[in-house]
Amino acid sequence: MVLQRDTTNPTSGEVWAERSAYWLRKYKSFLPQRLRREREPSPLILTGHGLSMRVKRDQLVVRDGRTHFPSEAIEYRYFKGGLERPKRIIVLDGYGTITLDALDWLAEQDIPLIRVKWTGEFLSLVTSGGLAADPEKFAWQLKARKDLGEKLAFYTPLVKDKLSNALATLSDYLPASDARDKAMLKIQAYQKRLQSDPPDAMKTLLGIEAQVASFYFKAWRDLELKWRENKRHPIPDEWRRFYSRGSLVVAIRGGANVFATHPVNALLNYAYTMLVNKMQLHAIAEGYDPMYGIIHTRDRSVFGQRRPSFALDIMEPMRPVVDRAVLKIVQEETFSGADFEIRSDGVCRLNPELARRVVQEVGRVGG
């Protein structure tokens, strides 16, 4: 007797491989074509098991990891000074090895190496030459943290830009709804207030920012996610819509949204991590200390890790911009339960190939 394979009810591993392959194809389809005399515009994004970086005959040899079986082992080779070199390399929840020679090669070629945890948390950033802050700019940072007038002069324009970008995102990337219209009216009212009667206290300015964020994300509640039905990969009913930016395990895990319990929040965590990494590099390039914030004055996260507080300050206007990457994917794609894994603590983990696609889209919208 010959046993027939039931293709209508694939195993869990087969569905995972199918979805991993799907997101990898999507990622490749959006890779821009580099012009012959143009520097490579896209970062190199790596993930999976078995990835590696080493130097062979002065070339940087990079092998991407494997996220599913079967999959091809992809290898990249870069020459010093070559236009095909990526401007930065991002490793998403990958496992493998990198040699000291490879780190030296990256430093010499001024290619930052960014490491991101599976939660979307920033883990590490390796750049060439380390931090060499401009003394005058760092002196200003020291002064501004303690001076109310400097704080307001620094942060009020950032909040204004954040409100303008939030309006554009609501208008162009969310479906019409009462909540969206209400949020837009509220934001427009706050814009007029900031213009005609600028706050003279940080508490007032931060209060406006918080109110705008509340109305902004309430407008997301009409956002519906499309799902493929699959008995082997069921999803919680609450995943069919977006309800809140907050995590359901916040109280348990110390009050951080990095422990996302909803797919949209898991996607947003990756988007914001890529944004803060970019702002950290920008701050270093401009001569500021990315770790010494003006508004975000807590130097360590709730987990004890040092955080780039100044980068968090200057990223605020761009949050609604990178939100567009997540909204685009959510509204265009039909997801599978195999795209996400619910861990024992209820935290939602992304398929690494989906995470790679999110990071790519963030770069496309300007993050």
> Residue 103: inside a domain, yes or no?
yes
Question: Is 183 domain-assigned?
Answer: yes
Question: Is residue 181 a contact partner of residue 163, using CB atoms and an 8 Å limit?
Answer: no
Print the domain residue range for 45.
31-111
CATH number for position 68 = 3.100.10
Same domain, 224 and 75: no
Asked whether residue 10 is domain-assigned, the answer is: no
Asked whether residue 155 falls in the same domain as residue 292, the answer is yes
DSSP string, 319-330: HHHHHHHHHHHH
Q: What is the pLDDT of residues 52-108, one digit of tens each?
A: 999 999 999 999 999 988 888 899 999 999 999 999 999 998 899 999 999 999 999
Q: Which residues, 6+ apart, have CB-to-CB distance to 222 below 8 Å?
A: 174, 175, 177, 179, 180, 241
Query: At 288, is the pLDDT very low, low, confident or very high (cuts 50, 70, 90)?
Result: very high
Which residues touch 120 (CB under 8 Å, ≥6 apart)?
A: 258, 260, 266, 268, 269, 270, 272, 273, 350, 355
pLDDT of res. 202: 97
- Residues 266 and 345 reside in one and the same domain: yes
- Tell me, yes or no, whether 20 lies in a domain: no
> What secondary structure does DSSP assign to 153-184, as a single string?
HHHHHHHHHHHHHHHHHHHHHS---HHHHHHH
Considering 111, 127, 144, which residue would you say is the last residue of a domain?
Answer: 111
Let me know whether 237 and 270 are in one domain.
yes
Cα–Cα dist 230/14, whole Å: 12
Domain boundary among the residues 111, 143, 165 is at 111
Confidence of residue 133 (pLDDT cuts 50, 70, 90): confident
Copy the structure tokens of residue 275.
Answer: 């944004």
- Of 331, 364, 334, residue with least CA distance to 175: 331
Q: What angle do CA 122, 280, 260 make, to 5 degrees?
A: 30
Specify whether 266 is located in the same domain as 148: yes
Q: Which of 299, 111, 362 is nearest to 290 (CA)?
A: 299
CA–CA separation, 42 and 30 (whole Å): 10
| CATH, residue 234 | 1.20.120.920
For the whole model, what pTM was predicted?
Answer: 0.88
Are residue 172 and residue 95 in the same domain, yes or no? no
Q: Quick: pLDDT tens for 196-237.
A: 999 999 999 999 999 999 999 999 998 889 999 878 889 999
In a domain, 9, yes or no: no
Is there a single domain that holds both residue 105 and residue 214? no
Regarding whether 206 and 160 lie in a shared domain, the answer is yes
Longest dimension (CA), the chain: 83
Q: From start to end of the chain, where are the E strands? A: 44-56, 59-63, 75-78, 89-98, 113-116, 122-126, 226-227, 334-335, 340-342, 348-350
Average pLDDT over residues 318-336: 96
Q: Rounded mean pLDDT of 33-39?
A: 86
Instruction: State whether 180 and 321 are in the same domain.
Output: yes
Separation between Cα atoms, residue 319 and residue 362, nearest integer Å: 11
Among candidates 262, 348, 257, which has minimal Cα distance to 303?
257
> Could you count the other beta carbons within 10 Å of the beta carbon of residue 17?
18
Q: How confident is the model at residue 4 (pLDDT cuts 50, 70, 90)?
A: very low
Co-location of 200 and 237 in the same domain: yes
Report the pLDDT value the prediction gives residue 256, as an integer from 0 to 100: 58
pLDDT in tens, 226-283: 999 878 889 999 999 998 887 766 555 544 567 899 999 999 999 999 999 999 999 9
Binned at pLDDT 50, 70 and 90, residue 2 comes out as very low
Whether 101 and 197 share a structural domain: no
Answer yes or no: is 80 within a domain: yes
> Is 93 within the bounds of a domain?
yes
- 102 and 144 share a domain? no
Distance CA 176, CA 170 (A): 9
Mean pLDDT of the chain: 89
Q: In what order do the strands lie in the sheet with 44-56?
A: 75-78, 59-63, 44-56, 89-98, 113-116, 122-126
Domains of the chain: total = 2
Report, as an integer, the average pLDDT of 348-354. Answer: 93
Given 53, 77, 111, which residue is the final one in a domain?
A: 111
Percent of the chain whose pLDDT exceeds 90: 70
